Amino acid sequence: MPLSQEDKQLIETAGNIIGENYDSVNWLHTVGAAVRARNGKVYVGVNCDSVSHGACAEVIAIGSAITAGEREFDTIVAVLGGKTGKILPPCGNCRQMMYLYDKNMNVIVSENTKVNVLELLKYPCE
């Protein structure tokens, strides 16, 4: 699917949130995510580190949206900080989480491509 103007704003929002919180030395906050709920509201997150893995930025963004009462999601994107602005396709765990929360969720995987989460997760665990 081609990206809409709202999608481009979502990429910019994800890039801005990691730009504001980027820390590659102490906490390894290196990825920002933005998710747009079906009602149009946007929620953001940055990845959080821990001794084993921590949480991806997408988990934090979706968790923030869920905490605010959202249950239906339209589109999500993750952006690498540190001046690259590179769009990152989600890891396997995030793909599964996105699928479980909203099977119709779209994922921006590059500057000009977004796909339904099922295209990224051919055989989901249910």
**Binding residues for Zn ion, per CB under 5 A?**
56, 91, 94
CB of 32 to Zn ion, least distance (A): 13
In terms of CB distance, is 10 or 62 closer to Zn ion?
62
Tell me, what amino acid is at 120?
Answer: L
Nearer to Zn ion (CB atom), residue 3 or residue 59: 59
How many Cα atoms are found within 13 Å in the side-chain-facing hemisphere of 5?
A: 0
| Angle at 124 (CA atoms; ends 76, 93), nearest 5 degrees | 55
Q: 85 near 111, Cβ under 8 Å? A: no
Nearest-Å Rg of the Cα atoms of the chain is: 13
Which residue lies nearer to Zn ion by CB, 19 or 89? 89
Residue 3: CB minimum distance to Zn ion, A: 21
Q: Which of 86, 59, 79 is nearest to 17 (CA)?
A: 79
Nearer to Zn ion among residue 94 and residue 120 (C-beta): 94
CB of 9 to Zn ion, least distance (A): 22
Give least dist CB 56 to Zn ion, A: 3
